[in-house]
Amino acid sequence: MSIQITPAASDRMRAFLAKAPEAAGVRFSVKRMGCSGFGYVVDLAGAIASDDEVMDIDGIRVVVDPKSLPLVEGTLIDFQRQGLNASFVFHNPNATGECGCGESFTVA
């Protein structure tokens, strides 16, 4: 599996993990939402299921569930600040379209 994390995203994830030492890692997944179909979710992983894919990326344990895995394979996760706003930004080679606001994406 190949998910990449930029240094900015790595720093942000480390900050979250430092505040929650009980977390098993960072969970990266998708859920049905928005007008295009799927939205990204980055959260702390409370537990790791037996069928989760677990990888170490730059010292960060990233956990992906089996349903999300084919939709996020090859994704580059970045973190950007623009004025007062800050958010993770996803560059997903599987996405074939996005909604106008960028909240959700579609796949073929």
CA–CA gap between residue 101 and residue 97 (Å, rounded): 12
pLDDT digits (tens, 9 = 90+) for 2-48: 899 999 999 999 999 999 999 999 999 998 876 668 888 999 999 99
pLDDT digits (tens, 9 = 90+) for 41-82: 999 999 999 999 999 999 999 999 999 999 999 999 999 998
Domains, the chain, with CATH or none = 4-107 (2.60.300.12)
CA–CA gap between residue 91 and residue 75 (Å, rounded): 6
pTM, two decimal places = 0.85
Q: Please, are residues 1 and 55 in contact by the beta-carbon 8 Å criterion?
A: yes
CA–CA gap between residue 11 and residue 81 (Å, rounded): 13
Backbone angles phi, psi at 54, to 5 degrees: -120, 130
